Amino acid sequence: MAYNEEIDNRVQKIVSRWKGMVTKKMFGGVCHQQNGHILSGVIQDKLILRLGVDEAEKVLKEKDVVPFDITGRPMKGWVMVEKNGFETEEALKGWLGRAKTFVKTLSPK
């Protein structure tokens, strides 16, 4: 799977300002880690977010949000947002902020 570099550049502009961020190629796409934990990523034209089980279940009811499933087994606590769901910078910042909020609850690796 390839990833949309334009989307990743938009993500990079936001997360590169945050402390403890590292970018790695994974899952056939790219992932952004904070303090050793994956926070977000891009696969194809989709934004991947780690939100925790409760928040992920809640946002799966929203338009343009689907389970994070690239193997046939959805990952609990993770979602993918279709491109239409983060067209504006405000929407993208909002999604990334949700993931950042969850990852802050995890102990640094």
CATH code for the domain of 94: 3.90.1150.30
Residue with tokens 């009811």: 61
Structural domain harbouring 52? 5-103
Q: Give me 62's structure tokens.
A: 């929203």
pLDDT at 1: 60
Is 40 among the domain residues? yes
SS3 108: coil
pTM of structure:
0.93
Q: How many domains does the chain have?
A: 1
Q: pLDDT means per 10 residues in the chain (109 residues)?
A: 90 95 87 95 95 97 94 94 97 98 92
pLDDT tens, position by position, 65-92: 999 998 889 999 999 999 999 999 999 9
Environment class of residue 72 by beta-carbon count within 10 Å: exposed (0-12), middle (13-18) or buried (19+)? exposed
Is 109 among the domain residues? no
User: Which residue in 90, 89, 66, 87 sits closest to 78, CA to CA?
Assistant: 66
